A and B are shown apart, each in its own frame.
Chain A
């Protein structure tokens, strides 16, 4: 048993379970929260994460399979994707291929009305293909603005960690292969123009 990550709402560990290495994602208590809020948030998020993963799996999307959900321990037991993060993979020579696969994966999520919520380069795993992980902040939505906000998060993490490659153009060109992408990219432009994010003077 090894703790892999201690996030803002859950502890992610690898454990042996039924003879194989799996991920235990446990939403542990936050003492600062009002008990009613604690219960509500944990229940909602546990349910939403496991449902979204199941929906994606049933459509053959590359995400961790859910093995079991333990509501008494607020824990999801899921497939351990044994690879390297996209963040690391993008430092190698095959970065264009990985970006293409990630763009395709994200457009597939969006076409299934799933918005990831936090698609940074650390939330994709690269094995022989690319997997999306950590659906803790995901929602079901077909709103182009939500999708655009996913793109924005991804492109920002590309720009801040991988300024050496022109990943933005490559990513968007592959994302644009999805036939509903035009309106998402339009929303992205509107989002970028909004007050808090833009640097337009005046």
Chain B
């Protein structure tokens, strides 16, 4: 599928939620830099404006250090790509503004791309060709696959994202942000508490699970047992819906993406499921699973590889930019 003759370099700007990221990648798939800065709220959950302020402070330095690390100047860049959505409005606008400023001042084409699709496409860099993506992050929990010109959402959470659920429970248990990795550390034992397992076809729900888990904690069960049980149940639900999507679509590859995909127990369970099913599993390295600028740059390059015609609508942001709104012209 080599349609490109010249090795182009793109810069990608990610700013949909907690993470401000600037990444550099070549059209051959060589990652030149992956700079990230994480907004951590002092207390409570994410505050969109505070997060946006954080990003606007950090982004200039991230641009600088990315270019320095890759030993490049703006003149070497042939595309500026940024996350157009979905995400938090103030954060998206901050990233887009930074991208515009960089693109216009150096006269480089500018392209806004879909954040969820970027998570999937970066998995293709690992060698997958036509996978099902299990995308587990803070706000997004989706099972995505390609069908008839679009990436379709086959299943998704019907209430909160899995990561938001984990964060919320961790916060209520006094552990702070980010909650997922903290829960993973304390999760111990083999005792499984009776918690709601909520799968409807290829859709799932997490809020009931997290509420029930908090009640178990209040009732005196140890944090390590509750954390262990949450992981076992929430990840088994995720495995089941992705296996159902594999069965339904007949596809033979699974790609993991999103911040929650960094969890070792989840990776282990997904590996067992795909092995039992005879399906290939691709797990990008942790720095590419979490929100990052590299995947945004990579998707931009993919879109441009087939002479994508950039119009004005590609230079705005869209908080509700759904996965299946993207017309896939590059494959």
Contact = CB atoms under 8 A, between A and B. Distances in A.
Interface of A: 5-9, 30-34, 36-37, 41, 117-118, 137, 149, 153, 160, 196, 199, 201
A187 to B, nearest CB: 14
Contacts of B240: 8-9, 30
6 contacts: A6-B247, A8-B240, A32-B239, A34-B192, A149-B200, A199-B322
B182 interface: no
Contact of B200 (A8, A137, A201): A137
A139 to B, nearest CB: 9
Contacts of B272: 31-32
A30 B247 contact: no
A33 B236 contact: yes
Nearest to B278: A6
A36 B240 CA distance: 16
B320 A30 contact: no
Contacts of B41: none
Interface of B: 147-148, 152, 156-158, 190, 192, 197, 200-201, 232-233, 235-236, 239-241, 243-244, 246-247, 268-270, 272-273, 276-277, 320, 322, 325
Contacts of A118: 201
B239 A36 contact: no
A34 B247 contact: no
B197 A37 contact: yes
B270 A32 contact: yes
A36 B200 CA distance: 20
B239 A201 contact: no
Contacts, number: 60
Contacts of A34: 190, 192, 232, 236
Contacts of B148: 160
Given A8-B247, A196-B158, A199-B322, A30 B201 contact: no
Contacts of A6: 247, 277
A8 B279 CA distance: 13
A30 B276 contact: yes
Nearest to B269: A32
Given A9-B240, A37-B236, A153-B201, 18 more contacts: A6-B247, A7-B244, A7-B247, A8-B240, A8-B241, A8-B243, A8-B246, A30-B273, A30-B276, A32-B239, A32-B269, A32-B276, A37-B192, A37-B197, A37-B233, A117-B201, A118-B201, A160-B148
Given A34-B192, A37-B232, A199-B322, A160 B152 contact: yes
A31 B322 contact: no
B116 to A, nearest CB: 13
